[in-house]
């Protein structure tokens, strides 16, 4: 997977389904305040952490200040074997081939090892397969060409564990192989000298979430340590940050620790290629955070792997010549513009095809056109998932009556299981829960779509319609200031496994609204004396909003023409007072609907049974009342959670 490089769109009001995320319920406002004082965070941020399972001061302290990771050699049994062999290669000036994948993870991994090994005395070269001609990963033909060129040591990055034929050929040709990969391990491993893989670490290891570039960093860091070269380690950390965020690796464990160390240093990176990318992205000299990497730098790198020669990125990220770096960065920029144009054109064509279906849109969106570009259909599929909240497969022609697909899906629909269930229709397939791919003969397409529709229809019936809006904590607009922002940054970096918190504010007055070029909605919102600007990206809803709205959003720092201001990136928007409309609440595999009925809070289950609580306090608070004291703890907690869902409690 990879970052899309686009802000999340704001769906039309009628297509939004507001609900609390399926995390832990919150005990009470008093509990938030007490825990907040202990850990030094505002109550709204503590509410987010509690909902995400950080239930103790020690757990929150570990999140805010991650402990030092254990020595990697204690978690990777083959690490010392790999380092010993690479030390020999560096001392002897040996030629070493680095075989990476053609996505940002694979290209940054390759550049990381090429740069470090070159600095330490070896003669490394990049060997990345062509997306169009070779497909994914190391193949036997590549091994034969490398062996013929005199290569006796090969390192795979972000691939290799499934390349059984290629590695058997390497063994026959006496080419030693160090495997670094994070994809699913086969039951029988191919021949290798050493293996670095997250799955071979202990079950609770902080190294479990590493992407390919993280494994390359572990190897490079151990080698730099053994050869006492700290500058090589600094270069490796810069590339670790780019590849980890670009590949959407979980920002937990050592990923979080190393990103917290590495991201602040990217502005002053010693790599001319990264400086050139920052210059062309318009963020030179600015603080670089995970969002800047994901939305500005990573798409420019990924575009090359999708449309061009990946060795361009390797050269960009390893050259010491600033002038050459700028030339290569401009090539990346050109390919990225081409990538955007292709994506926009394919998206427009896909939307036109879906529009032609009218109300008969299937629960699994499957669209095929022979002329679509294989390199970008995955990006467009992800855009359609975001727009419609449904699983999507886009297919492009492969020739000889075959089509190749990229699949993306919303949370909860497992792509890998869906493809496995339809394997009788497929020539080959692979993936994980959120994304995958397959090849299929055109004459099997209708049967495949029917089976995928059946799975998607079942999934949709279980999770409900609409695009989910899941705010985690109620926040008043007047609370959004620099001190709050600084506290929020203690939870960063944000990404997969540690998403930026979604807050919501109720009954905000729409003071100004403008529809900007590109369909973006700009609002000025007021609440009490506070005034805050909000952006709804690629808004598809009505032009005129109600005077008062509830908004769900992420708080961001907007930089424009050397000016900074805090603004809201809108996730959801609905008319204020929607607490009278039922809101879905899911707890312990049970479904409830909560609503406000006059002065009562009402919770209903699937059997139509109701629980009621009379609202108390000057603010119509949904806090527990004295009559709740004798209720079962589950019932009391359910009512508390319903009050939160409706904005009747903090």
Written out in words, the top-level CATH class of the domain with range 76-335 is alpha beta
pLDDT at 6: 67
| CA atoms lying within 13 Å on the CB side of residue 509 | 7
More confident residue, 343 or 248: 343
Query: What is the reported pLDDT for 359?
Result: 66
Mean pLDDT of 488-514: 93
Q: Count CB-CB contacts under 10 A for residue 544.
A: 8
Q: What are phi and psi of 499, to 5 degrees?
A: -70, 155
SS3 category, 21:
coil
What confidence score (pLDDT) does residue 418 get? Answer: 95
Rounded to an integer, what distance in angstroms lies between the CA atom of residue 300 and that of residue 104?
A: 9
Which two tokens mark 123? 């003669």
Q: How far apart are CA 555 and CA 75, in angstroms?
A: 38
Q: What is the average pLDDT across 31-60?
A: 86
The residue length of the chain stands at 650
pLDDT of residue 423: 94
Q: How does residue 647 score in pLDDT terms, banded at 50, 70 and 90?
A: low
CA gyration radius, the chain = 26
Confidence at residue 627, expressed as pLDDT on a 0 to 100 scale? 53
Packing angle, helices 298-307 and 104-119, rounded to 10: 100
Q: How far apart are CA 335 and CA 316, in angstroms?
A: 14
Measured CA to CA, the distance from residue 351 to residue 540 in angstroms comes to 13
Token pair, residue 246, equals: 């670009």
Supply the angle between the helices 298-307 and 311-318 in degrees, to the nearest 10: 140
25 to each of 50, 187, 621, 639, how far by Cα in Å? 8, 40, 17, 10
Q: CA 431 to CA 570: how far, in whole Å? A: 31
Quick check: 105 and 78 in contact, CB under 8 A? Answer: no
549-568: per-residue pLDDT in tens? Answer: 999 999 999 887 678 899 99
Per-residue DSSP letter, 25: P
* 510 close to 545: Cβ distance less than 8 angstroms: yes
Rounded-to-integer distance, Cα 323 and Cα 125, Å? 22
Instruction: Please give the share of the chain, as a percent, with pLDDT higher than 90.
Output: 61
Return d(Cα 547, Cα 70) in angstroms, integer.
55
SS (H, E, C) 442-499: HHHHHHHHHHHHHHHHHHHHHHCCCEEECCCEECCHHHCCHHHHHHHHCCCCCECCEC
Side-chain-side CA neighbours of residue 649 (13 Å)? 26
Per the DSSP assignment, residues forming a β-bridge with 505 are 551
| Confidence at residue 588, expressed as pLDDT on a 0 to 100 scale | 63
Asked if residue 384 has pLDDT above 80, the reply is yes
For the ranges 9-23, 284-298, 337-351, 508-522, which has the lowest average pLDDT?
9-23
Token digits for 462?
Answer: 């279980």
Q: Identify whether the C-beta of residue 35 lies closer than 8 Å to the C-beta of residue 46.
A: yes
Distance CA 638, CA 633 (A): 8
pLDDT of residue 33 exceeding 80: no
What confidence tens digit (pLDDT) does each residue in 234-259 have?
Answer: 899 999 999 999 988 999 999 999 99
User: What is the C-alpha to C-alpha distance for residues 154 and 470, in angstroms, rounded to an integer?
Assistant: 47
Q: Is the pLDDT at 169 greater than 90, yes or no? A: yes
Domain 13-23+31-36+43-63+471-576 has CATH 3.40.50.300: no
Pairing of strands 563-575, 530-536: parallel
Q: Is the pLDDT of residue 42 over 60?
A: yes
- 115-132: pLDDT as tens digits: 999 999 999 999 987 665
Q: What is the pLDDT of residues 385-431, one digit of tens each?
A: 999 999 999 999 988 899 999 999 998 899 999 999 999 999 988 87
Q: What angle do CA 640, 642, 645 make, to 5 degrees?
A: 115
* Distance from C-alpha of 227 to C-alpha of 528, rounded to nearest angstrom: 61
Count of C-beta atoms within a 10 Å radius of residue 273: 29
Q: What mean pLDDT value characterizes the chain?
A: 89
Under CATH, what is the fold of the domain 361-464? Diaminopimelate Epimerase; Chain A, domain 1 (3.10.310)
Each residue's pLDDT tens digit, 128-148: 876 656 556 788 999 999 999
Domains 13-23+31-36+43-63+471-576 and 76-335 share a fold: no
The confidence band for 25, taking pLDDT boundaries of 50, 70 and 90, is low
C-beta atoms surrounding 625 within 10 Å = 14
Our measurement of the distance from residue 53's CA atom to the centroid of its chain's CA atoms, rounded to an integer in Å, reads: 20
pLDDT of 73 over the 70 cut: yes
**Angle 79-92/212-226 helices, nearest 10 degrees?**
60
Q: Where are the domains of the chain?
A: 13-23+31-36+43-63+471-576, 76-335, 361-464, 583-645
Measured CA to CA, the distance from residue 414 to residue 231 in angstroms comes to 42
Cα dihedral 525→530→535→540 (10° resolution): -20
State the pLDDT confidence band at 30, using cuts at 50, 70 and 90: low
pLDDT at 619 over 50: no
Which structure tokens are listed for 45?
């941020």
Reading the block at residue 250, the tokens are 């979980």
| Closest to 268 measured CA to CA, from 237, 228, 299 | 237
208 pLDDT above the threshold of 50:
yes
Lowest mean pLDDT among 479-493, 566-580, 584-598, 602-616: 584-598
Q: Which of 608, 592, 603, 650 is nearest to 631 (CA)?
A: 603
CA distance 453 to 198: 34
- Buried b / exposed e over 81-91, threshold 16 CB at 10 Å, is ebbebbbebbe
pLDDT at 38: 87
**How far is Cα 590 from Cα 4, in angstroms, rounded to an integer?**
34
**Tokens representing 251?**
């920002």
Q: What is the pTM of this model?
A: 0.85
User: How confident is the model over 256-277, as pLDDT tens digits?
Assistant: 999 999 999 999 999 999 999 9
């Amino acid at each position: 997977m990879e970052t899309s490089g686009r802000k999340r769109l704001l769906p039309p009001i009628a297509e939004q389904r507001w609900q609390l995320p399926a995390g832990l319920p919150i005990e009470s406002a008093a509990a938030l305040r007490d825990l907040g004082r202990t850990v030094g965070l505002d109550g709204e941020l503590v509410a987010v952490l509690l909902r995400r399972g950080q239930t103790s001061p020690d757990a929150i302290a570990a999140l805010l200040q991650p402990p030092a990771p254990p020595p990697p050699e204690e978690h990777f049994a083959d690490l010392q074997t790999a380092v010993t062999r690479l030390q020999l290669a560096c001392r002897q000036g040996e030629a070493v081939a680095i075989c990476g994948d053609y996505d940002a993870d694979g290209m940054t991994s390759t550049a990381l090892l090429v740069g470090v090994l070159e600095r330490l005395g070896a003669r490394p070269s990049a060997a990345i397969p062509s997306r169009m001609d070779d497909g994914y990963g190391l193949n036997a033909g590549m091994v034969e060409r490398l062996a013929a060129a005199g290569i006796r040591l090969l390192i795979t990055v972000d691939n290799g564990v499934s390349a059984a034929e290629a590695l058997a050929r390497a063994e026959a040709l006496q080419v030693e192989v160090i495997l670094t990969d994070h994809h699913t391990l086969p039951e029988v491993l191919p021949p290798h000298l050493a293996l670095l893989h997250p799955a071979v670490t202990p079950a609770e290891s902080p190294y479990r979430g590493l992407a390919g570039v993280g494994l390359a960093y572990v190897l490079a860091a151990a080698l730099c340590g053994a050869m006492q070269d700290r500058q090589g380690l600094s270069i490796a950390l810069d590339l670790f940050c780019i590849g980890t965020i670009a590949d959407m690796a979980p920002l937990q464990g050592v990923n979080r620790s190393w990103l917290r160390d590495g991201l602040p240093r990217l502005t002053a990176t010693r790599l001319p290629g990264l400086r050139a990318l920052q210059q062309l992205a318009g963020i030179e000299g600015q603080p670089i955070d995970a969002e800047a990497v994901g939305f500005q730098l990573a798409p420019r790198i990924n575009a090359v792997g999708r449309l061009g020669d990946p060795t361009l990125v390797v050269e960009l990220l390893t050259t010491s010549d600033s002038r050459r770096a700028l030339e290569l960065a401009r090539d990346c920029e050109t390919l990225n513009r081409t990538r955007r144009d292709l994506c926009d054109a394919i998206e427009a064509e896909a939307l036109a095809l879906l529009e032609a279906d009218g109300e008969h849109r299937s629960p699994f969106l499957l669209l095929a056109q022979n002329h679509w570009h294989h390199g970008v259909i995955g990006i467009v599929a992800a855009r359609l998932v975001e727009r419609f909240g449904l699983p999507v497969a886009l297919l492009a022609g492969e020739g000889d009556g075959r089509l190749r697909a990229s699949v993306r899906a919303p949370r909860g629909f497992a792509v890998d299981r869906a493809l496995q269930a339809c394997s009788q229709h497929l020539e080959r397939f692979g993936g994980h829960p959120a994304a995958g791919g397959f090849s299929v003969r055109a004459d099997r397409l209708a049967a495949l779509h029917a089976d995928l529709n059946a799975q998607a229809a079942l999934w949709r019936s279980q999770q409900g319609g609409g695009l989910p809006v899941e705010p985690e904590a109620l926040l008043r607009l007047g609370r959004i200031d620099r001190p709050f922002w600084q506290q929020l940054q203690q939870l960063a970096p944000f990404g997969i496994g540690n998403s930026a918190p979604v807050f919501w504010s109720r009954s905000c007055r729409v003071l100004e609204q403008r529809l900007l070029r590109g369909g973006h909605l700009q609002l000025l919102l007021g609440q009490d004396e506070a005034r805050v600007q909000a952006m709804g990206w690629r808004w598809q809803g009505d032009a005129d909003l109600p005077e008062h709205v509830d908004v769900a959003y992420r708080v961001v720092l907007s930089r424009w023409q050397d000016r900074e201001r805090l603004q809201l990136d809108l996730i959801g928007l609905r008319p204020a007072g929607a607490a009278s409309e039922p809101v879905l609440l899911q707890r312990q595999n049970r479904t409830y609907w909560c609503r406000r009925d006059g002065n009562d809070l009402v919770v209903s289950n699937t059997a139509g049974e109701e629980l009621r609580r009379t609202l108390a306090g000057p603010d119509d608070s949904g806090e527990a009342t004295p009559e709740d004291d004798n209720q079962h703890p589950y019932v009391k907690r359910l009512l508390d959670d319903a009050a939160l869902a409706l904005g009747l409690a903090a």
